[in-house]
Structure 1
């Protein structure tokens, strides 16, 4: 291996909230192996998905660009990545073998974008569909057919975007989480050992369908589940929230309780796969020269403020886990050369970081070229010294022009503005981490200050209609929707996504 370059293993989840880990202080969910990564590395408490939905978030990981720079600030299928200098391409150019197992949600689905190999689990999506083509399904569904269960990936009867629950309907080892973990371990064993390895293990869980293994559900049998938090500002939601409200409008207390149990069980199942990956690296003799990055594309509101799913800038949706763990004992000096001699693990960094920071971080670890004009910053200096920061404030954006939600935060305060109706939210994250109280009315000077920060960031762009003459400019200030208009908004996204027999 040239220059003893370290291996990099990135493990991601889909829909995993930043606060639903043991290491984040959650006293119920069981994540001992992810917690171990935090104990041996650095955990970032204020990590954000700045466009919190699958396709833009994953494009951000791949490019180091935020949604606005990509031109992708909402869910869109079929959009190709706009740059050639992707994360796997930069590492491949630096001599790495680059592999991904699991969910990519990039387009065209089989384009490698710099990966040497891709083994896909795309949650039952028909490949090529955005282009009017029929390219079959991902590798997981093909493998499931080879095991004697053709078309049965969704035989449990659950939809991929709703919160009804049941236990997994096939033998345990056929669960997509088990398959992704197994394939990731197999790729480690089949790697080109003359090259450093970059492996992205991309788990689909805990994204619905909520179909955990029965043995993982049993872990939470005797536990009283938490209930969603409801802020004092939620009596009248911004128009933007109508879709998020619709996911839970028919859910009963029991259904919410079951959704939490299934979500917890799915996260615990992923945690077990993390340990399998660590164990395989150890048995292959390369654990002592491997960096880990653990994160998620976005979170899930899970009923907080009566909202479900993602797409907004409330904590559950946009605050994600991020853990970076360097090798504690490296071969020679190479794997520790990025850290000072007195570095100790188990630190916590409270500055604002985001998914766009992953690409430059991996490049610095690998000694690869960091592309110019990207939005991300390498977090290696923050791993070395947890008191450092790479930015003062962070801007998030979701939605189409005229109907966006925008957020600016420094990790201590968060200001959210809704472009359509002009609603403002301001939260003191240190005193009110669950965002229960909107401080806009009682803190007018502070609100003006944070509004100014957002205006300044938006004005730094070439042109953006959200700011006119130095002021935020809502499309229809104070507008209210009729009952029928609300129903139309709720049906703008086919969120049930029922799946039938796929043969």
Structure 2
């Protein structure tokens, strides 16, 4: 017995840890952390109360921030659904992972990903919900994904056995139900990594019947630049994503004009009788009132804005509620203390700023995404980080937390060193590249953001440059490119843009710069 005690004490001594720490390490903290990544769709940080929003309360997203860290300056590399997920999965920019746009890209699942690295290291891996990468997931022990964008009511899922299965109910609830079913059946001898891909809050903002009318008594203020005239911003002027001109009365706002047109809409035709009755009981009186008003001009545009806000925020309510269900499940099953939880949207979204909905731009509302993370024992509760982080950093952060070597071809950087050491400044410049040249008429562009400035190069649909002083012009209304007094700043930013392009090996952007050396003057 004495010999056993002596050997035990020697083991503690050789470890370099005090006895109490060894006991702690032999318990929960010694285990490799479980990982839950919750990815929503088109969820604007402007609508999240953890970010100071007064539009609605998001208590469950807020809870992650309160118990961990809120990233105030989280951004994406390419503000559109599929490409963002490919970046999250691989830790590589779109030009490296091959999924540049939603029009023609198909994700090559043969390439490496954080899921493959974790699975190889003994993790059990799963992806449930929206995938949107046009190929079957690889690197996951289990997957169950929405075809393409998925549906809000009675969604179909592509299953691992090749079948398609329809689930009765509202999509946010169904995704959470299936998530908990997988967690109930998982191999408890292994750590797990689970990605929950929510459809909400993607267009067409169709709320759960439980949340219909939740914001009907609220009159939302118009953003200050709602009636933006896009002066000296050619790319913004030719877009097709305005609430005034682009948002559709039937498809988006459920004002179809007839039962026949409503029944032909795929979002409504798949509803069961009870769901359809509740939906009609809510929207039909609104449509009658709208028809009686006979609105035109600005009055019509502002009515559309109010309807958009009410439907969007009601849809976001179910998203937040189901995030709360995930957190409750972890609590109830004793998993909270050894599980990293990361919540982010695939990109930002416009809530009427510049008169818009949708995303795509390097402008802040689209470029910036909400991101909060809880990591008990590592990230101090209530942390607020103003360092630049990106969706590019999710993969290396996860691998770092799992004590795995980060592959050299990953272009992101782990967020953990900056959270552990305030002296670690992380990246000082953000690089962005948007490729799609179709829907919503947003011109392809690339650019950089520093703490104060943003330099943008548009090409294809529009050819030109924009420069913003974010300190003086946080809403990006005044393009300073080519204006007197900004020559030195422009030259310095141009050099930095070249540096970032070469760092990330974006050959297409480099070629565009080489071909247009003269137009930066």
Cα shift at 1:143: 4.5
Residue 466 of structure 2: SS of its match in structure 1? strand
Using the alignment, how far apart are the partners of 1:68 and 1:473 within structure 2?
Answer: 24
Q: Does 1:69 align with 2:96?
A: yes
The one of 212, 218, 234 aligned to 2:230: 234
The one of 419, 424, 428 aligned to 2:469: 428
Q: Does 1:311 align with 2:306?
A: no
My pick for the range that moved more, 253-262 or 74-83, is 74-83
Cα shift at 1:244: 3.8
Normalising to structure 1: TM-score of the pair?
0.77
1:246-265 map, 5 Å:
248-251=244-247, 252-265=301-314
Q: Rg larger in 1 or in 2?
A: 2
Instruction: Mark the CA change 1:137 to 1:181 in structure 2 (over 3 Å): closer, same or farther.
Output: closer
Q: Which runs of 5+ in 2 are unaligned?
A: 1-27, 248-300
Cα shift at 1:299: 1.8
Q: Does 1:348 align with 2:384?
A: yes
User: Which residue is equivalent to 1:58?
Assistant: 85
1:289-328 map, 5 Å:
289-327=338-376
Over 4 Å off, 4+ runs: 123-126, 139-143, 400-403
Cα shift at 1:137: 5.7
User: Which residue is equivalent to 2:497?
Assistant: 454
Q: Does 1:113 align with 2:138?
A: yes
Using the alignment, how far apart are the partners of 1:116 and 1:39 within structure 2?
Answer: 32
**Do the aligned residues in 2 keep the contact of 1:61 with 1:356 (CA within 8 Å)?**
yes
1:39-438 map, 5 Å:
39-77=66-104, 79-81=106-108, 84-108=111-135, 111-122=136-147, 138=158, 142-144=164-166, 147=168, 174-230=169-225, 234-235=230-231, 237-239=233-235, 242-245=238-241, 248-251=244-247, 252-327=301-376, 336=377, 339=378, 344-385=380-421, 388-399=424-435, 404-420=444-460, 421-438=462-479
Instruction: Mark the CA change 1:71 to 1:456 in structure 2 (over 3 Å): closer, same or farther.
Output: same
Instruction: Mark the CA change 1:472 to 1:383 in structure 2 (over 3 Å): closer, same or farther.
Output: farther
Using the alignment, how far apart are the partners of 1:19 and 1:385 within structure 2?
Answer: 29
Cα shift at 1:431: 4.6
Cα shift at 1:423: 3.3
User: Which residue is equivalent to 2:272?
Assistant: none
Q: Comparing both structures, which one devotes a greater share of its residues to helix?
A: 2
The one of 471, 479, 485 aligned to 2:517: 471
Residue 74 of structure 1: SS of its match in structure 2? coil
Residue 35 of structure 2: SS of its match in structure 1? strand
Cα shift at 1:451: 2.6
The CA RMSD measured in Å over matched residues stands at 3.0
Residue 395 of structure 1: SS of its match in structure 2? strand
Instruction: Mark the CA change 1:412 to 1:268 in structure 2 (over 3 Å): closer, same or farther.
Output: farther
My pick for the range that moved more, 381-390 or 22-31, is 381-390
Cα shift at 1:258: 0.9
Cα shift at 1:71: 3.5
Using the alignment, how far apart are the partners of 1:472 and 1:280 within structure 2?
Answer: 59
Residue 12 of structure 1: SS of its match in structure 2? strand
**Do the aligned residues in 1 keep the contact of 2:126 with 2:193 (CA within 8 Å)?**
yes
Using the alignment, how far apart are the partners of 1:26 and 1:400 within structure 2?
Answer: 30
Cα shift at 1:195: 0.5
**Do the aligned residues in 2 keep the contact of 1:73 with 1:400 (CA within 8 Å)?**
yes
Residue 406 of structure 1: SS of its match in structure 2? strand
Instruction: Mark the CA change 1:142 to 1:83 in structure 2 (over 3 Å): closer, same or farther.
Output: closer
**Do the aligned residues in 2 keep the contact of 1:124 with 1:138 (CA within 8 Å)?**
no
